[in-house]
């Protein structure tokens, strides 16, 4: 269950980025979000993620789910992935507990909305080329 705050933040993000529509859905599709991110990576990285096809992400390499088939872990380390994580919309993974992207060749900034992952207890982004600030939940 998304918290009211979470919903509110998504609502605000949506209102800013699009003109208002009453038919908007606020739950992002976790499968489509991962596939979209995959296409943002270079060809070799995409070939490392060759199991990432179809609509059963719980069976994909590096992905683990809970019984409700919601993704709780994304662990793709030591893969040599090249690209950014700008296209990885973490609002699609409200149950995410673990994110390990260690030892790839990812660059760019870490999206600030990563701090909205309230269940995240394990985050490893080491051995990449990320730049900029590490987001934190300011008060
Ligand atoms: C990536 O693959 C696509 C289609 O397979 C090809 O058109 C493109 O040139 C490739 N890009 C690189 C950088 O190899
Ligand atoms: C998410 O997207 C996939 C692929 O487009 C689709 O098969 C699936 O039914 C969608 N899931 C939900 C919950 O909408
Ligand atoms: C990173 O991954 C490569 C294999 O892709 C491995 O050879 C190397 O030891 C790893 N480096 C670290 C710091 O884990
Ligand atoms: C995270 O990735 C590193 C490799 O860089 C690995 O040593 C570590 O075991 C991974 N942690 C988990 C929990 O998978
Ligand atoms: C990071 O960037 C530097 C300079 O561009 C490069 O030498 C290095 O190999 C990169 N490291 C990784 C892990 O991609």
| CATH fold for the domain made of 42-139 | 3.80.10
Q: What separation in Å is there between the alpha carbon of 39 and the centre of ligand 5?
A: 22
User: From ligand 3's centre to the CA of 83, what distance in Å?
Assistant: 17
Structure tokens at 57: 């992400």
Please give the structure tokens belonging to residue 60.
């994909």
Ligand nearest to the CA of 42: 1
What tokens does 66 get?
């809970």
Higher pLDDT, 23 or 55: 55
How many whole angstroms separate alpha carbon 102 and alpha carbon 23?
Answer: 38
Residues 28-82 have pLDDT tens digits of: 899 999 999 999 999 999 999 999 999 999 999 999 999 999 999 999 999 999 9
Is 31 in contact with 38 (CB distance < 8 Å)? no
Q: pLDDT at position 27, please?
A: 73
Q: Are strands 71-75 and 105-108 parallel, antiparallel or unpaired?
A: unpaired
């Amino acid at each position: 269950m998304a918290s009211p705050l979470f919903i509110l933040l998504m609502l605000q993000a949506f209102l800013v980025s699009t003109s208002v529509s009453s038919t908007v859905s606020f739950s992002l599709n976790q499968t489509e979000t991962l596939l979209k991110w995959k296409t943002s990576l270079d060809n070799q990285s995409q070939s490392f993620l060759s199991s990432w096809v179809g609509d059963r992400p719980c069976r994909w390499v590096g992905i683990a789910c809970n019984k409700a088939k919601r993704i709780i872990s994304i662990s793709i380390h030591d893969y040599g992935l090249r690209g950014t994580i700008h296209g990885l919309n973490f609002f699609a993974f409200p149950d995410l507990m673990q994110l390990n992207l260690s030892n790839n060749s990812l660059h760019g900034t870490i999206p600030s909305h990563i701090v909205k992952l309230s269940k995240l207890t394990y985050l490893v982004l080491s051995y990449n080329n990320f730049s900029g600030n590490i987001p934190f939940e300011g008060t």
